[in-house]
Structure 1
Amino acid sequence: MTTEPAPASFAALHHRPGEPLLLPNAWDHASAAALAARGFPAIATSSLAVAAAVGLPDGRGATREHTLRLARTLGSEPYLLSVDAEDGFSDDPDEVAALAGRLWAAGAVGINLEDGLQPAARHAAKIAAVKAAVPGLFVNARTDTYWLGDGDETDTLHRLDAYRQAGADGVFVPGLTDPGRIGTLIRHLDAPLNVLYSPTGPTVPRLAALGVRRVSLGSLLYRRALGAALDAMADITAGRTPGGTTPSYDEVCAPGEGRA
């Protein structure tokens, strides 16, 4: 397995005090290309979007090959790619490491691995296996203590410390929106903290002031796109002109050639 370091620029994007990496999540080539064209240097994938696009459930380990296929589609593009790989689609650390190697070969420079509240030692073993097999891949270790659990701070810190000790480059706590608790975590961490943006939570400038180093959008953009499609149909049905931004046919086709 390659031992080359990941592009330093991706890791460096997590170490800019006061300027967190705002990471939009795409679901296909068109969405990723459009976001990159707006100046975002790094793009992530969304497990919900990958699953929903093919009619499969999210978080059930059903989209391994679809995730790899999307990584191969996006990995050769000029932006930096991080892949949401659920829990690695396996409980076997060696299998997760093999997947990470395939993602790296496809051009990904980062991987997001979630614990789903499984035992911390099991998730740490996956992280250690990935870092041993693909040292250059930026591992963002996610704990679901706030997403699926009751947000116990002691358990959260225990898990994040275990993942960091296993080699995680960054840690992710989706569902954490309270500024006080965010600040407490940051004071106890020695790794970049990633949080999931919430329209009802702190703004990006507020998160930056707290010391957050990465802000992910998760499935928000995909769900907003679906909502925009429904709103447009409601307007058309009612005889109104749809509002919002509508890229032109030529703009969507810019990266290649398309047909109506």
Structure 2
Amino acid sequence: MTAFAALHRPGSPLLLPCAWDHASAFALAGQGFPAFGTTSLGVAAANGLPDGASATRDETLRLALTLGSGPFLLTVDAESGFADDPDEVGEYARQLAAVGAAGINLEDALGPPGRHAAKIAAVKSAAPGLFVNARTDTYWSGDGDPGDTARRLDAYREAGADGVFVPGLTDPARIAELAARLDVPLNVLHSPNGPSLPHLADLGVARVSLGSLLYRRALGAALETATDIAAGRPTVGTSPSYEEVAALSGGRQGPVCRP
């Protein structure tokens, strides 16, 4: 079992924040998070590209190259693998592993489950040590059919997925039922209106991802600060100092919490 796989413990889930650049990654590491993912929305938006459209293949790989040698464990959101050809997805995964990534997140986008399973098998063949988190979008952009979800997850497990991800699933009873029937770690997306982290632990979840939340909160804080200053109001919240951010750009970790 890899060090990253060992962090996936049902009942004591890995809380996985997601970074979108060098500074956000090292700031999170400075707060003691041992592992984190990348957010495809954050990477896409930061580069002026659409999310979920296989437009950020090179940008995602460059970010992995920047972060892969850091003092933390990194899993990369690769959308649906940036290709339909399983062999191309496998080669991309091999490149991620070569630069130090510990895991990859692959989403099915509600496409044919057989094709997604073939991608997973290709990744495990090309990069056996890479933790494959197989995502299904049945609850994220589909109708949340439990039967379809189970069939897809079974196919992905059989193809070699190390864990499965069901974003959009927030019903406690269905989470518990799914966690109980799976023999691989279950990953869900944190939802402000869903179960809390302790509740998810009780339900048997092994990994809780924050997705694009931190990026969106950072953007929201920037907008609030600018509009508050323009309106003559005092600013609220915390801001790292210039020196702290400059230290992050050199890869030196430190607390980023002072106002």
TM over 0.5: yes
Deviation per CA, 1:70-98, whole angstroms, max 9, x where unpaired? Answer: 00011010100000000001110000000
How far does the alpha carbon of each residue in 1:14-52 deviate from its partner, in whole angstroms, 9 at most, with x for none? 0x3421000000000000000010000001100001100
- Identity across aligned pairs (percent)? 72
| Partner residue of 2:59 out of 61, 66, 76 | 66
Answer whether contact 2:64 2:99 (CA < 8 A) is retained. Answer: yes
Q: 1:257 deviation in Å?
A: 5.5
Residue segments in structure 2 that go unaligned for 5+ positions in a row:
252-259
Q: Deviations over 1:54-80 (max 9, x none)?
A: 111000011100000000011010100
Q: Say whether residues 1:214 and 2:207 are aligned partners.
A: yes
The aligned length equals 251
Query: Cα RMSD between the aligned structures?
Result: 1.2
Deviation at residue 192 of structure 1 after TM alignment: 0.3
Question: What CA distance in whole angstroms lies between the structure 2 residues aligned with 1:255 and 1:172?
Answer: 31
Higher RCO (C-alpha 8 Å, min separation 6): 2
* 2:231 alignment partner, one of 221, 238, 251: 238
Partner of 2:4: 10
2:82 to 68, 89, 106: 89
Q: Tell me which residue corresponds to 2:127.
A: 134
Structure 1 portions without partners, runs of 5+: none
Q: After TM superposition, which residue ranges in structure 1, 4 or more long, deviate above 3 angstroms?
A: 255-258
1:255, distance to aligned residue in structure 2 (A):
3.3
Match of 1:107 among 85, 89, 100: 100
In 2: Cα distance, 1:17 partner to 1:191 partner: 9
Counterpart mapping for 1:61-210 below 5 A: 61-210=54-203
2:222 to 229, 246, 260: 229
SS in 2 for 1:194: strand
TM-score (norm 2): 0.95
TM-score (norm. length: structure 1): 0.94
Structure 1: distance between partners of 2:179 and 2:250: 46
* Cα deviation, residue 256, structure 1: 4.2
Q: 1:83-127: CA deviations, max 9, x gaps?
A: 000000111000000000000011101000000000110000000
